[in-house]
């Protein structure tokens, strides 16, 4: 298969599976359908995703669909993220979102790898650094503190997000940290999506002074090994500008981009972005991949700061 054909096949699998099959919602989170738009309610901010062609909705009808999502969350006093992809139709969707008051955040690159072809050798860790899987509340709070420091926004909600994912499906999300002298210096997780061939790398964040030492790559290797052990054919990452080059060198293929468009109520500050909210999409997912893992960190490969993105952004 040619490189072009491989990319097309990976993108087709992404569209058919990750945009159609949602994870089991955590307690307090609901999914609501409004035409082609899937609305995720109950997270720290709203989230909207949909099929590649948005059900053929165009023109004034599309404007009305956008306005309904904005107004729904406005009535709740909440910000909302509308998740777009670079290959979506219609081409004027971003312009219509801007006209409705949505503001674009930095794009992320959607990269996918066939697990069986991924050769990620675990690098030697720096002296004193260890990796371990975590589930305890205290560790989740420490991860939220790390994500806040790395992304430069308040991501305290990440701890609750991860608790919710573990509560609804303890085996669906595996969370890992790298520690040195009792301090978490990097954290990341992998989410398995039942009903699909994908596992998603999310939340990857590393303190600036620990970047370039093999810690992030070790967490990628560990999670890739877990995907292989659990027979997931594909690994998906919505990658930040920092992570994308690393992942491409490891064998991931860029298939499209994703850009979150955010509407924020006038009484609120600009929305947080970090490592843990996107359906969280993703190891920029959960992911967010941008200064935030996105809102629906685990939804349709989407993410909020920290949620969906697997990235190792430098400390602000």
Measure the CA–CA gap between 3 and 117, rounded to whole angstroms: 14
pLDDT at residue 17 is higher than 70: yes
- Checking if the pLDDT of 28 tops 60, the result is yes
Is residue 5 situated within a structural domain? no
Would you say 274 and 155 are in contact if contact means Cβ atoms under 8 Å apart?
yes
pLDDT of 297: 34
The pLDDT assigned to 279 comes to 32
pLDDT reading at 241 higher than 50: yes
Identify the CA nearest to 238 among candidates 222, 217, 219, 259: 259
Q: Mean pLDDT score of the chain, rounded to an integer?
A: 86
Domain count, the chain: 2
CA–CA dist 192, 204 (Å, integer):
16
Amino acid 230: pLDDT: 95
130, with CB counted inside 10 A (0-12, 13-18, 19+), is: exposed
pLDDT at 274: 39
State residue 313's pLDDT score: 45
Length of the chain: 316
24 and 159 belong to one structural domain: no
Residues 93 and 223 in one domain: no
Residues 212 and 295 in one domain: yes
Q: What is the model's pLDDT at position 20?
A: 81
Strands 253-263 and 108-114: antiparallel
Given this model, what pLDDT does residue 184 score?
Answer: 98
- Residues 162, 280 within the same domain: yes
Q: pLDDT at position 59, please?
A: 97
- 74, 94, 109 - which closes a domain: 109
Residues 47 and 99 in one domain: yes
The token pair that represents 189 in the structure block? 């997780």
Determine the structural domain holding residue 58 and report its residue range: 18-109
Q: How many CA atoms lie within 13 A of 144 on its CB side?
A: 17
Strand-strand pairing, 173-180 and 129-134: antiparallel
Q: What is the pLDDT of residue 291?
A: 39
Q: What is the pLDDT of residues 87-117, one digit of tens each?
A: 999 999 999 999 999 999 999 999 999 998 8
Q: Are residues 207 and 185 in the same domain?
A: yes
């Amino acid at each position: 298969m040619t490189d072009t054909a491989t990319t097309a096949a990976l993108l087709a699998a992404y569209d058919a599976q990750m945009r159609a099959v949602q994870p089991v919602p955590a307690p307090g989170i609901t999914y609501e359908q409004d035409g082609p738009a899937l609305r995720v309610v109950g997270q720290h901010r709203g989230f909207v995703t949909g099929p590649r062609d948005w059900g053929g909705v165009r023109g004034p009808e599309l404007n009305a669909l956008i306005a309904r999502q904005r107004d729904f969350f406005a009535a709740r006093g909440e910000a909302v993220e509308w998740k777009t992809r670079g290959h979506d139709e219609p081409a004027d969707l971003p312009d219509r979102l801007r006209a409705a008051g949505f503001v674009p955040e930095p794009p992320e690159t959607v990269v996918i790898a066939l697990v069986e072809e991924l050769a990620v050798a675990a690098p030697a860790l720096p002296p004193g650094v260890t990796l371990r899987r975590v589930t305890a509340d205290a560790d989740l709070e420490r991860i939220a503190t790390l994500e806040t420091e790395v992304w430069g926004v308040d991501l305290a909600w990440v701890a609750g997000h991860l608790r919710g994912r573990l509560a609804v499906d303890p085996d669906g999300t595996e969370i890992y940290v790298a520690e040195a002298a009792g301090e978490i210096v990097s954290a990341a997780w992998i989410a398995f999506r039942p009903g699909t061939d994908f596992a998603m790398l999310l939340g990857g964040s590393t303190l600036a002074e620990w970047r370039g030492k093999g810690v992030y790559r070790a967490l990628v290797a560990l999670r890739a090994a877990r995907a292989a052990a659990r027979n997931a054919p594909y690994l998906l990452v919505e990658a930040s500008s920092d992570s994308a080059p690393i992942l491409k060198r490891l064998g991931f293929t860029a298939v499209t981009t994703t850009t979150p468009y955010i509407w924020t109520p006038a009484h609120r500050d600009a929305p947080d972005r970090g490592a843990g909210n996107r359906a969280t999409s993703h190891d920029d997912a959960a992911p967010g991949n941008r200064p935030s893992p996105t809102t629906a960190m685990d939804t349709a490969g989407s993410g909020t700061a920290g949620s969906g993105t697997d990235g190792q952004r430098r400390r602000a």
